[in-house]
């Protein structure tokens, strides 16, 4: 079903927020779930996290980092235009504990994906400490929204232009140690999630990682999003996307997400006019 774009906002270089009309998803979604969109008729399908919603406008919010062909097609659309189709909510909601001191960690566009989870933790009566990483000050996103739902928000920038100078895992190690948190949620680039899992392995912390493998159908049919967790095969679109970070095989996931890099580059450079209805 197509979905009209109501609002568009540039949050940072290459990072765009879109509010789209989606009444049924707006009524049902929960923190941690995602949608699959096809921006144009000829586009491939891509998964995006549901970041927020508005009951009054019957809309949901997504935040998109333009990294390749399909994300660029999505962010080129303007208010009044429509996404060709959108399906969701997909995946299992994030597991939210109550009454604990929790760690919320994110890097890059993962900061947007963290927002609904941080909010859900806060609403469930937890003390929420968010650690967010960005390349540089100009790449920090949703600071105000996160401050409104977190007890503490700390930033790390790679170039030291805001907050801690370094990455978000170094920031974690500078602020916390074993028993600092009962539970946590990490989302962002795979090397960051892997480093967060390694750093906290002996801390007695239950750390959920929201995984971002390649997804195609989002319904458990194609096998594209296969990941290994604790030696078991799992499908991130239906069994996840959140799993125990200390049990995820991040090296396998890295290999699988890189499998089509050459083709992705060709797709970006070459405006193919055969196939897929064009």
- Given Mg ion, ligand FES, ligand FAD, none, residue 92, with its beta carbon under 5 to 8 Å by kind, binds none
Residue 170: its H or E element: helix 168-175
DSSP 137: G
Interface with Mg ion in residues 30-69 (CB under 5 A): 68-69
Question: E strand or H helix at 83, and its extent?
Answer: strand 82-83
Closer residue to ligand FAD in complex, CB, 14/137:
14
Q: Does 47 engage in binding with ligand FAD (CB under 6 A)?
A: yes
The residue among 66 and 216 lying less far from ligand FES, judged by its C-beta, is 216
Give me the least distance between CB of 173 and ligand FAD, in Å please: 26
Q: Which helix (H) or strand (E) holds 264?
A: helix 261-269
3-state secondary structure 192-250: HHHHHHHHHCCCCCEEEEECCCCCCCCCCCCCCCEEEECCEEEEHHHHCCEEEHHHECH
Positions 64 through 83 that interact with Mg ion (CB under 5 A)? 68-70
Per-residue interface string for the shown chain with ligand FAD, residues 62-101, x marking contact by CB under 6 A: xxxx-xxxxx------------------------------
Of 117, 212, 235, 243, the residue at the interface with ligand FAD (CB under 6 A) is 212
Which is nearer to ligand FES, 178 or 223 (by Cβ)? 223
Among the listed residues 113, 131, 176, 183, the single contact to ligand FAD using CB under 6 A: 113
CB 166 within 8 A of CB 126: no
Contact 131, 172 (CB under 8 A): yes
Binding site for ligand FES (CB under 6 A): 215-218, 220-225, 235, 237
Judged by beta carbon, residue 1 or residue 268, the one nearer ligand FAD is 268
Pairing, β 15-21 against β 3-12: antiparallel
Residue 23 phi, psi (nearest 5): -60, -40
25 binds ligand FAD (CB under 6 A): no
Size of interface with ligand FAD, in residues (CB under 6 A): 27
Q: Which is nearer to ligand FAD, 58 or 257 (CB)?
A: 257
Burial of 217 (0-12, 13-18, 19+ CB in 10 A): middle
Q: Is 16 in the site for ligand FAD (CB under 6 A)?
A: no
Q: Give dist(CA 172, CA 154) in Å, integer.
A: 9
Count of residues interacting with Mg ion (CB under 5 A): 3
**In sequence order, what are the residues at sequence separation of 6 or more whose Cβ sits closer than 8 angstroms to the Cβ of residue 265?**
none
Give the nearer residue to ligand FES in terms of CB position, either 189 or 224.
224
HSE-CB for 6 with a 13 A CA cutoff: 15
Residue ranges binding ligand FAD (CB under 6 A): 34, 46-49, 62-65, 67-71, 109, 112-113, 212-216, 241, 257, 261, 264, 268
């Amino acid at each position: 079903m197509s979905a009209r774009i109501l609002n568009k906002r540039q949050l940072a270089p290459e990072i765009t927020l879109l509010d789209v009309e989606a009444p049924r998803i707006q009524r049902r979604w929960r923190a941690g779930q995602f949608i699959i969109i096809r921006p144009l008729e000829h586009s491939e399908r891509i998964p995006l996290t549901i970041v927020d919603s508005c009951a009054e406008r019957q809309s949901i919010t997504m935040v998109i980092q333009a990294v390749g062909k399909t994300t660029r097609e999505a962010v080129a659309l303007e208010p009044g235009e429509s996404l060709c189709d959108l399906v969701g909510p997909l995946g299992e909601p994030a597991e939210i504990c109550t009454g604990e001191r929790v760690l919320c960690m994110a890097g890059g566009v993962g900061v947007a994906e963290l927002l609904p989870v941080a909010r859900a933790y806060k609403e469930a009566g937890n003390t929420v400490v968010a650690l967010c990483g960005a390349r540089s000050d100009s790449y920090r996103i949703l600071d105000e929204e996160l401050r409104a739902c977190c007890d503490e928000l700390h930033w790390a920038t790679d170039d030291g232009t805001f907050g801690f100078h370094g990455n978000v895992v170094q920031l974690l190690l500078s602020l916390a140690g074993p028993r600092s948190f009962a539970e946590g949620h990490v989302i962002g680039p795979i090397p960051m999630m892997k480093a967060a899992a390694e750093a906290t392995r002996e801390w007695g912390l239950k750390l959920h990682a929201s995984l971002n493998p390649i997804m195609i159908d989002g319904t458990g049919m194609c096998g594209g999003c296969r990941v290994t967790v604790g030696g078991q095969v799992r499908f991130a679109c239906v069994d996840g996307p959140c799993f125990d970070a200390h049990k995820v095989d991040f090296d396998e996931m890295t290999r699988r997400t890189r499998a089509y890099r050459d083709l992705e580059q060709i797709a970006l450079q070459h405006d193919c006019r055969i196939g897929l209805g064009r």
